[in-house]
Amino acid sequence: AVAVGMAFAARLSSQHGLCKEATRERICRLIQQAGLPLEVPETLTKEDLIRGLQTDKKVTDGKVKFVCLEEIGKTRFMHMSAQDIVHSR
């Protein structure tokens, strides 16, 4: 789950222009080399993911405090709804 979350955060950060595509690629390559998954299992629906995110301890006023990547070793928080996060996949 941690590896999938890291890969997703890197992709989301890249989509939002927060980190370079090369950084995203490096993180995903390292996760893969460790033999860990990059994707959420297909058995989990978007609704399952939204429910899980909505009950996360980092939710405040309906927004998830999502850790995004600027570069390796440097992060920033984005406050996003669970729906926005899941539909970014």
Mean pLDDT of the chain: 91
Tokens of 38: 């990059």
Check residue 89 and give its pLDDT.
62
d(CA 65, CA 68) in angstroms, rounded, equals: 9
Q: Is the pLDDT of residue 12 over 90?
A: yes
Q: State yes or no: pLDDT of 17 exceeds 90.
A: yes
Answer whether residue 29 shows pLDDT above 90: yes
Nearest to 38 by CA among 46, 28, 30, 47: 28
Report the pLDDT averaged over residues 28-55: 92
At 52, is the pLDDT very low, low, confident or very high (cuts 50, 70, 90)? confident
- The pLDDT value recorded for residue 87 is 82
Rounded to whole angstroms, the Cα distance separating 26 from 31 reads 9
